[in-house]
Structure 1
């Protein structure tokens, strides 16, 4: 039998996607043999594809926690399929974006690349085209389509250039040549809010950076083995760490220092991890965000009101009962518990019927699989006493077919001289088939990963029509007290492109932190035009852009900053340039 190519391994369910922390020798190239192949991401990370036939089942006890890819979901709660509404510029006005688009600054993102890794893009829509009908998109990498030529060094998917897209737009059916679609609409909505063209002089539609060049990665759906591990409901969009990291690598490649800066916007998130920026994706975008002329903007997630975070404290060697309400028909879910060093803990579980799993200590990294007598539920508890990246204790509990009712996770502090604090997180709401909620949740520290990366800007959402914080938006700070989010931006009822009717853009509305991130990314493109393209601050990158935005943010006397909801305030581009000009607020 002929050996599989690396592309075939990447796409095959018989090969497991893993993130490997590895420093490649200088001059190393893509590896490939019968067991595995890999794609280098940078000097630290490999995207590796390994034969499942020679690997143990996907469990924390069999792998280091950090090697297991996460699943990321979309960070919008509502993007309609088709609503024909009038364009509303109010969020652009309230965030100062409209002010700097006009004379004398004329900041429209000219010669700046805005990059999106998401659900694709409707490249045929007028909001992504110039007045002459040509595309504003530099390139699209569709990871889900294998009929075209992949980007150099990335092996899978199909890349479509601006020339190919323009050629396709001349056809009666453009999809015959460039078969990129966005059936979900999330990526199209984000790109339109951030970079939509000025239609009818901005009356019919206008994005934050209407003259920016656009680059898009359509993420392929995660493999079934990973969805099975996380027990993700069928049909729910879910994306793996490997594909997202490679997408960021691709988007970053379009930056040309001192000539064409790049802003990368991510509207996906995960509620797992220690919430201090130690995930592989967080570390990688931190590296990208520190490079010259590159900015990364991340949605803060919509988990603030989901009841999916519990924060506990134990004095001495006491215990805390953590109650979880599970609805009928819930198929299963994962729960992560993180303890602070040097404390160490044990965990016990009590079912709604009263059966108890005896305490399992994390001291030796024990693992246990338990099937109840009077319940159909199976629970696997995996401990890692010293997680390699964070040094913290982590326990992963996997509930299969949980019985309806109140489940109790009993956390026992065995010893240590630390704070006695611990945290638990359930999956993002769309990743649970049913309902699982803490009875005593804490809405704080609910920003989704990779929001805690530094220096990328993490953005929460607010309603710009009444200045109220969006109640579903994630909140800070980090589990270690790190100041996140950075800013809040409009994210409620944002005008977005939802389709076309007879060649005309259909305008709908969307709500969620990914749209707040999209507007902030468009604002960052405006700033990078002023700083780099117009050579006012040619070395500007993620750190300086963030700090300018924080200095110019709008702040209310009623709040204390930094804020768990607002970060350092509301996005205000007029305030940014007033600060630069020395004009007092």
Structure 2
């Protein structure tokens, strides 16, 4: 593995010189570099310093595992990651393939692909490549709800049962043998399942990875052929996908009591790897269009890395599937589950003024990432540091708008910490009205990791410019982190916590409100999950709040989300 690190170090030595590990140094501002997502630049910088491309705990470390922002894997002696490229022309696809990229889908000027990390500068140098973005690691978000949203009236007045419509679901999978998805004649309402995680194949046409289960495979599965049965068996998700499918489309055969919103709709399901959700949505749209059927796609997942305005490549690619001139396609996104999490800060400062905010991190946390966006007509100085137990603030490194700097700390208490401030995206290539600053704090090589009594802080100063001075920042890493409300700092809040993807203009983002707090369990026990201050009909405490960063109202609507009975996957032990 060490040999690979040094191969990459040699490959990019001509691109940048970052100095010895204990010093901060500016990155060379070459044009291809500015086409790279800052997470990619940070991976290259780590390789240049002989480190793994993403933070990893040393053997025997007692720290919390880092929440990795980009999944990197090794194949054929090289490091690879999943990413997206904004192209000027479809003709550039042949150049990308020549360099070694494997294209998994292309549509609306955005290519999804597997990318060799050691070739990103060559890729960015192509005239036809406008921007290269690493895929985000997204995470899942999610009796009386049916009458609450007036489904019976819709059925009686319009005959709206979902017949003829396809519901697409991008989630943890589906238990195709569940009675709720089988017609009375014994045939399946699940038309296709694509498992993005299964390397055995056969893969769906054009995408080239995963395993596709056809109607014939699913029919064989219902007849007992277990080798052709897709599953919803992720032990970490507890049958989330089957639960979501049941809410949308259960026909009630299992319980003879509870049914979904569209009990006659058919289903196309992607068991997602949560690295390539744009591929997943494109797959469902293409299948529905080949069948000449309208489709509604549910995405109960999201992330908080990005501009929260729909202009990053993943959000833009999803947004391009719908909207004017795209009849018969609806894409729905969960608003998010961060309605009580203070993962956002925002405000405005004038020239010469500063603003500070600091992050609470659990003891032993090993990775912090803060995503900052500000008016592109302003020039900011971003400084990162930590607070001592005595309350003194120690600045570690800083970078002006248009620059990037990194520092590795050599002194206690955070010896080994690697801090990067990447402010090169000035302006952000996909939206010239904003500039982007990524703060990356890697504590994996420290002895103790984060300490709640010694928080990390960010101070921004407006050096000049004619802009509004406005800024917004999100904690895009997870692990129980939030912005504190400490004296002198801007306190964190839960505003603008709609997931980045759900901020796209033509995506329907959906929040949650309360329709049930009490019920009788299968064991005959009265269950009461009521929370004081949250009566029936109120917005769920966890439902993410708007607006978007650019001021648009989101979520677009709210629906029953607390508590919802639905189909239980037989693949998950309970």
TM-score category of the 2 structures, normalised to the smaller one: 0.7 to 0.9
Tell me the CA shift for residue 250 of structure 1: 0.5
Asked if 2 retains the 8 angstrom alpha-carbon contact of 1:347 and 1:410, the reply is: yes
Provide closer, same or farther for how the CA distance between residues 262 and 16 of structure 1 changes in structure 2, counting only shifts above 3 A: same
Give the one of 166, 187, 190 matched to 1:113.
Answer: 166
Alignment match, 2:339: 304
Question: Following the alignment from structure 2 to structure 1, what is the Cα–Cα distance between the partners of residues 131 and 540?
Answer: 33
Tell me the CA shift for residue 275 of structure 1: 1.1
Question: Following the alignment from structure 2 to structure 1, what is the Cα–Cα distance between the partners of residues 105 and 318?
Answer: 15
Provide closer, same or farther for how the CA distance between residues 153 and 24 of structure 1 changes in structure 2, counting only shifts above 3 A: farther
- For residue 124 of structure 1, give the secondary structure of its aligned residue in structure 2: coil
Question: What is the TM-score normalised by the length of structure 1?
Answer: 0.72
Asked if residue 437 in structure 1 is aligned to residue 483 in structure 2, the reply is: yes
Tell me the CA shift for residue 255 of structure 1: 2.6
Alignment match, 2:377: 342
Alignment match, 2:435: 393
Question: Following the alignment from structure 1 to structure 2, what is the Cα–Cα distance between the partners of residues 216 and 192?
Answer: 12
1:48-94 Cα deviation digits (max 9, x unpaired): 3232344579x9xxx99852222211113xxxxxxxxxxxx211111
Question: Following the alignment from structure 2 to structure 1, what is the Cα–Cα distance between the partners of residues 359 and 203?
Answer: 45
Question: Following the alignment from structure 2 to structure 1, what is the Cα–Cα distance between the partners of residues 499 and 302?
Answer: 5
Alignment match, 2:17: none
Asked if 2 retains the 8 angstrom alpha-carbon contact of 1:257 and 1:293, the reply is: no
1:411-438 Cα deviation digits (max 9, x unpaired): 11111222221111012xxx53353433
Give the one of 475, 479, 499 matched to 2:549.
Answer: 479
Asked if 2 retains the 8 angstrom alpha-carbon contact of 1:362 and 1:395, the reply is: no
Question: Following the alignment from structure 1 to structure 2, what is the Cα–Cα distance between the partners of residues 31 and 319?
Answer: 44
Asked if residue 360 in structure 1 is aligned to residue 390 in structure 2, the reply is: no
- For residue 123 of structure 1, give the secondary structure of its aligned residue in structure 2: coil
Question: Following the alignment from structure 1 to structure 2, what is the Cα–Cα distance between the partners of residues 407 and 326?
Answer: 8
Provide closer, same or farther for how the CA distance between residues 358 and 164 of structure 1 changes in structure 2, counting only shifts above 3 A: closer
- For residue 92 of structure 1, give the secondary structure of its aligned residue in structure 2: helix
Give the one of 435, 440, 450 matched to 1:403.
Answer: 450
Provide closer, same or farther for how the CA distance between residues 22 and 422 of structure 1 changes in structure 2, counting only shifts above 3 A: same
Question: Following the alignment from structure 1 to structure 2, what is the Cα–Cα distance between the partners of residues 281 and 54?
Answer: 21
1:135-193 Cα deviation digits (max 9, x unpaired): 1001011111122311111111111112221111111xx43222433323111111111
Asked if 1 retains the 8 angstrom alpha-carbon contact of 2:243 and 2:569, the reply is: no
Asked if residue 70 in structure 1 is aligned to residue 119 in structure 2, the reply is: no
1:178-257 to 2 correspondences below 5 Å: 178-183=229-234, 184=237, 185-199=239-253, 203-220=256-273, 239-240=274-275, 243-256=276-289
Asked if 2 retains the 8 angstrom alpha-carbon contact of 1:75 and 1:268, the reply is: yes
Question: Following the alignment from structure 1 to structure 2, what is the Cα–Cα distance between the partners of residues 419 and 370?
Answer: 34
Give the one of 39, 56, 59 matched to 2:104.
Answer: 39
- For residue 249 of structure 1, give the secondary structure of its aligned residue in structure 2: helix
Provide closer, same or farther for how the CA distance between residues 434 and 476 of structure 1 changes in structure 2, counting only shifts above 3 A: closer
Question: Following the alignment from structure 2 to structure 1, what is the Cα–Cα distance between the partners of residues 110 and 92?
Answer: 15
Q: Structure with the greater relative contact order (CA < 8 A, sep ≥ 6): 1 or 2?
A: 1
Give the one of 82, 87, 91 matched to 2:145.
Answer: 91
Give the one of 148, 154, 159 matched to 1:100.
Answer: 154
Unaligned runs of 5+ in 1: 1-8, 77-88, 221-238, 509-585
Tell me the CA shift for residue 129 of structure 1: 0.9
Using the TM superposition, name which of 261-270 and 177-186 deviates more: 177-186
- How many residue pairs align between the two structures? 454
Asked if 2 retains the 8 angstrom alpha-carbon contact of 1:302 and 1:472, the reply is: yes
Question: Following the alignment from structure 1 to structure 2, what is the Cα–Cα distance between the partners of residues 143 and 278?
Answer: 25
Provide closer, same or farther for how the CA distance between residues 315 and 29 of structure 1 changes in structure 2, counting only shifts above 3 A: closer
1:282-322 Cα deviation digits (max 9, x unpaired): 21121111211111111100112111001122133200121
Asked if 2 retains the 8 angstrom alpha-carbon contact of 1:334 and 1:396, the reply is: yes
User: RMSD value over aligned CA atoms?
Assistant: 2.9
1:423-477 Cα deviation digits (max 9, x unpaired): 11012xxx53353433311221110021111212111111124111111111111
Asked if 1 retains the 8 angstrom alpha-carbon contact of 2:515 and 2:563, the reply is: no
Asked if residue 314 in structure 1 is aligned to residue 355 in structure 2, the reply is: no
Give the one of 456, 469, 473 matched to 1:420.
Answer: 469
Give the one of 363, 383, 391 matched to 2:423.
Answer: 383
Provide closer, same or farther for how the CA distance between residues 34 and 388 of structure 1 changes in structure 2, counting only shifts above 3 A: closer
Question: Following the alignment from structure 2 to structure 1, what is the Cα–Cα distance between the partners of residues 310 and 172?
Answer: 24
Give the one of 386, 400, 418 matched to 1:351.
Answer: 386
Tell me the CA shift for residue 358 of structure 1: 6.0
Alignment match, 1:223: none
Question: Following the alignment from structure 2 to structure 1, what is the Cα–Cα distance between the partners of residues 158 and 336?
Answer: 32
Question: Following the alignment from structure 1 to structure 2, what is the Cα–Cα distance between the partners of residues 67 and 356?
Answer: 33
Asked if residue 371 in structure 1 is aligned to residue 406 in structure 2, the reply is: no
Give the one of 428, 451, 455 matched to 2:502.
Answer: 451
Question: Following the alignment from structure 1 to structure 2, what is the Cα–Cα distance between the partners of residues 94 and 188?
Answer: 22
Asked if 2 retains the 8 angstrom alpha-carbon contact of 1:64 and 1:387, the reply is: no
- For residue 287 of structure 2, give the secondary structure of its aligned residue in structure 1: coil
Asked if 1 retains the 8 angstrom alpha-carbon contact of 2:399 and 2:421, the reply is: no
1:115-146 Cα deviation digits (max 9, x unpaired): 01111111111111112222100101111112
Asked if 2 retains the 8 angstrom alpha-carbon contact of 1:352 and 1:403, the reply is: no
Unaligned runs of 5+ in 2: 1-72, 444-448, 486-490, 517-535
Asked if residue 460 in structure 1 is aligned to residue 511 in structure 2, the reply is: yes
Structure 1 ranges of 4+ moved more than 6 A? 9-13, 26-31
Asked if 2 retains the 8 angstrom alpha-carbon contact of 1:309 and 1:438, the reply is: no
- For residue 566 of structure 2, give the secondary structure of its aligned residue in structure 1: strand
Provide closer, same or farther for how the CA distance between residues 351 and 52 of structure 1 changes in structure 2, counting only shifts above 3 A: same
Provide closer, same or farther for how the CA distance between residues 32 and 358 of structure 1 changes in structure 2, counting only shifts above 3 A: closer
Provide closer, same or farther for how the CA distance between residues 25 and 351 of structure 1 changes in structure 2, counting only shifts above 3 A: closer
Tell me the CA shift for residue 352 of structure 1: 2.2
